Structure 1
């Protein structure tokens, strides 16, 4: 078990008993878990190869390989687990400490900017498909709209939100609002005049009766 006490996110309660999970992990076997990703409304079953658990400022994570890709699985979204007979298949030379170092760096680089948006409740499924794990939080619907927090590595990444057109509103931070506004103005200016066809030669020809080419 590894404990990293430096500050990071808020710390919700774990949905499973940490001590029970830690005891199970000593057997170094695969786990079947029921887990809900941050961008999903329903939990799904998956089989993972666990390295161990990590506490980050009171928030617990299971570090595991999911189909060969290392993941940080927040325990507050882990509703059940079951030990399987098969031994855990871990990446050669990797340990809990080395995997945590890589995943911690990856997460911090992805989460530098939190952008808050408002979108219609009926567009939430599409947002989950498009934004995926960048979604950090979704509020309860109010008057037909939801407030969603999306995490990006930088402000420029808000370009992704343009594909939602006029179905979303960027609420914060102000730098994200300003960048989206500038991008929208640039796009509008580019489409305010007819497109120029730059191909050589005439666009079409007309044959006049009585004349031949």
Structure 2
């Protein structure tokens, strides 16, 4: 902990060369006495830093004394190589501390960049990235960092996994490519009997590395398999469904239906016509969440399926007879 604080102190001095004890104490979240002790320790170790007394005094780093902050530690490089993960996801991978140290080094370099002297704001002050889903459920049941450590050895895994249609997990042997995170959810990307699959970590109850190396398909990598599975999941489908939708719900439909929306056209006042693409007729049950704001127009099979589902819901919600 103290080593990280000393590094942070030096990076601050490199950016400013002179800084008051009070400001250092505030930035490091320690007392002024602790700052002075740290300065004494650095000076004793040969770092050209000292404290100046008096009204305009402070902590000073001699001109020309610079740290080579361009060289990041391997752990720091790993933290930066997974750009886009939020703090919670970095914590799960055990990279939160390394990411923070790397960010401080980068900030120190940016402080001496031309834009900084002109008072321009950095992008880090203007852009915030949060890859968690809205109203996200609790995270995965397995330890992501432990699983990532196991996957480094490129061995087969015996896992216990519950698919969405099963009540209990079942055992299977898979050949893992790695981990993926999307919209706040973690997935194990692996071949199951030679076919790429996504295994949601919240339904992965246990795993065991085997002695045999992972038998990965030739020419395939984590990125190529993930891309194929992602495209397969997001492919709109070939069943064309036409609906009437209240215009006030069009923005909501775009968020929920995404690429399934093929075409939108104006209709009656307050309504619009939306053409959707689904993989099958059964998928129209997704439209029930729009309640009385939607009407399925075609095909007849989709219209009939929505009628059946709505009738079943109405029966379930009847007031019990006294």
1:93 to 216, 219, 222: 219
Query: 2:300 maps to which residue?
Result: 183
Are 2:158 and 1:32 equivalent residues in the alignment? yes
Calculate the aligned-residue CA RMSD, in Å: 3.9
Unaligned runs of 5+ in 1: 112-151, 163-167, 188-213
Q: Distance in 1 between matches of 2:168 and 2:297?
A: 31
Query: 1:139 maps to which residue?
Result: none
State the secondary structure of the residue aligned to 2:173.
strand
Query: 1:63 maps to which residue?
Result: 189
Deviation of the 1:172 alpha carbon = 2.7
Unaligned runs of 5+ in 2: 1-77, 85-128, 238-258, 262-275, 305-322
Are 2:282 and 1:161 equivalent residues in the alignment? yes
Q: Distance in 2 between matches of 1:36 and 1:91?
A: 25
1:97-123 C-alpha deviation (Å, 9 max, x unpaired): 111122222222259xxxxxxxxxxxx
- Taking the TM superposition and a 5 Å limit, the aligned residue runs for 1:1-213 are 3=82, 5=84, 11-12=136-137, 13-109=139-235, 155=276, 157=278, 160-161=281-282, 171-173=288-290, 178-179=295-296, 183=300
Deviation of the 1:42 alpha carbon = 1.7
Higher radius of gyration, 1 or 2: 2
Q: Is the 8 A contact 2:296 2:302 kept in 1?
A: no
Q: Is the 8 A contact 1:4 1:56 kept in 2?
A: no
Q: TM-score of the superposition, structure 2-length normalised?
A: 0.37
- Alpha-carbon distance change, 156 to 26 in structure 1, aligned in 2, over 3 angstroms: closer
Corresponding pairs, count: 145
Q: Is the 8 A contact 1:4 1:54 kept in 2?
A: no
Q: Higher strand share goes to which structure?
A: 1
State the secondary structure of the residue aligned to 1:178.
strand
Deviation of the 1:66 alpha carbon = 0.5
Q: TM-score of the superposition, structure 1-length normalised?
A: 0.54
Q: Higher helix share goes to which structure?
A: 2
